[in-house]
Amino acid sequence: MAEKTLNVYKIVQQQIKEACDALGETQEVYDILKQPKSCIEVAVPVKMDNGETKVFQGYRALHNDAVGPGKGGLRFHQNVNMDEVKALSAWMTFKCGVAGIPYGGGKGGIIVDPTNMSKGEVERLSRNFIKAISPVIGDNIDIPAPDVNTNPQIMAWMVDEYSKLQGKNTPAIITGKPLECGGSLARFEATGFGVALMIREAFKATNQEIKGSRVSIQGFGNVGRFAALYTQQMGAKIVAVSDVSCTLVNEKGLDISALFEYVKEPENKNMIKGFSDAEEFDRDKIFEVEVDALAPCALENAITSENVNDIKASMVIEGANGPTTPEADKVLNEKEILVVPDILANGGGVMVSYFEWVQNLQNYYWTFDEVQEKQEIKMVKAFNDIFVIMEKYDVSMRVAAFMMSIKRVADAMRARGWVK
């Protein structure tokens, strides 16, 4: 585990170095960006149901706040550690930079397996954790959100606890809240909707028609199902969809609305297997289906050197985080397959979290359509800005995305007088 942890932090530092070098940035810019500005470690005591007190180890890192306050999730997982939190906080700085939202990066977590805890224990852990990190967070300092194993209910307990500490209602301290206590409409759909927008823009940028095109989506969870639904509404045929249970193929295009309803049936356990209007194959078949665009929206390391040569798409839009291994990425680049990187393609979630924060601060709430309209304007601009950098510097879209966001942060640091 320690080796893997070291690698995540090393990987992010290497990405920062490459982008700094490509931009001709100075050593002092790299020296600030290669590590977080601060990272605290906290010990969180929790009274368990059996009356004993257990102490959990937690962290919160603020990577950089030159552009704005920190922003990033809090995860509850047994493998959380300080290096991982630091690396993820840096990625959040660059994700916010790509999205063009006025935030730096933050990330936090606690070492725990919440699946073995009662609801009451999880609530006490959530409340005590937010109390422990309260000195370093704030609605204009660093704003947490849900991440692995945390959800809107946990955010509601945390905002309640933080508000008690402050003696006033403070909804803008955390995003990803339930609608009833300051959450935003269109947040649930945001990541998948953003992936669909990026598929549409990739077609446009490469002078291809989305209408009647063939698209495949790996993963039919929160991201994959909304990506499929909105891409279909934009005129594409979703000829293949997969999840952990199988791949479904229908040459005429799957009926995604019907599949939405199908997975919701309790006996189908949220899975696509058994859907009637399609041919069924094993789950890895998804990579072989002849399509114009493939959107991996399941987990990391889905496209590897083992299956990359099966891919027949002319573009890959990364809905999941890290779905392409570096080796496979190299092959896709050599084959001139356009890869819209995760840091851009799945940025819809953090973008609508930003809109939630803006609505909380102004205490005025937008309609579903208003939120989606704003998301579309910002994501299309980010795509086009990065596409221009990609062509100008003759780099991949992934490197171009890093370059754009590092330049934003470096320019802000320069304006503030932190570096020459």
Interface residues toward ligand NAD, by CB under 6 A: 191, 218-224, 242-244, 283, 297-299, 319-321, 346, 349
DSSP state of 237: E
Q: Least Å distance between CB 205 and ligand NAD?
A: 22
Q: Least Å distance between CB 44 and ligand NAD?
A: 25
Looking at the Cβ atoms of 220 and 357, the one nearer to ligand NAD is: 220
Looking at the Cβ atoms of 18 and 284, the one nearer to ligand NAD is: 284
Q: Report, as residue numbers or ranges, the catalytic residues.
A: 107
Please choose, from the candidates 107, 55, 104, the residue with its C-alpha nearest in 3D space to the C-alpha of residue 83. 107
Q: Least Å distance between CB 226 and ligand NAD?
A: 9
104 to 9, 66, 82, 149, 153: CA distances (angstroms): 17, 7, 18, 23, 25
What's the rounded Cα separation, in Å, for the pair 380 and 367? 20
Which amino acid, 252?
K
Looking at the Cβ atoms of 26 and 307, the one nearer to ligand NAD is: 307
What's the rounded Cα separation, in Å, for the pair 53 and 76? 18
CB 188 within 8 A of CB 222: yes
What's the rounded Cα separation, in Å, for the pair 109 and 314? 38
Integer-rounded Cα radius of gyration of the chain: 21
Looking at the Cβ atoms of 81 and 218, the one nearer to ligand NAD is: 218
Q: Which residues of 119-128 are buried (b: 16+ CB within 10 A; e: fewer)?
A: eebbbbbbbb
Please choose, from the candidates 66, 39, 33, 36, the residue with its C-alpha nearest in 3D space to the C-alpha of residue 137. 39
DSSP state of 297: -
Which residues are CB-contacts of 295 (< 8 A; sequence separation ≥ 6)?
195, 199, 215, 216, 217, 218, 224, 227, 231, 316, 317, 318, 319, 345
Which residues are CB-contacts of 405 (< 8 A; sequence separation ≥ 6)?
93, 94, 95, 96, 97, 98, 343
Task: Tell me if residue 315 falls in helix, strand or coil.
Answer: strand
Q: Least Å distance between CB 198 and ligand NAD?
A: 12
Please choose, from the candidates 193, 192, 194, 196, the residue with its C-alpha nearest in 3D space to the C-alpha of residue 213. 196
DSSP state of 303: B
CB 67 within 8 A of CB 165: no
Q: Least Å distance between CB 147 and ligand NAD?
A: 9
Looking at the Cβ atoms of 144 and 224, the one nearer to ligand NAD is: 224
Looking at the Cβ atoms of 226 and 366, the one nearer to ligand NAD is: 226
What's the rounded Cα separation, in Å, for the pair 129 and 163? 14
Q: Least Å distance between CB 242 and ligand NAD?
A: 5
Looking at the Cβ atoms of 208 and 325, the one nearer to ligand NAD is: 325
Q: Least Å distance between CB 180 and ligand NAD?
A: 20
Q: Least Å distance between CB 199 and ligand NAD?
A: 15
Please choose, from the candidates 270, 286, 168, the residue with its C-alpha nearest in 3D space to the C-alpha of residue 216. 286
Looking at the Cβ atoms of 7 and 151, the one nearer to ligand NAD is: 151
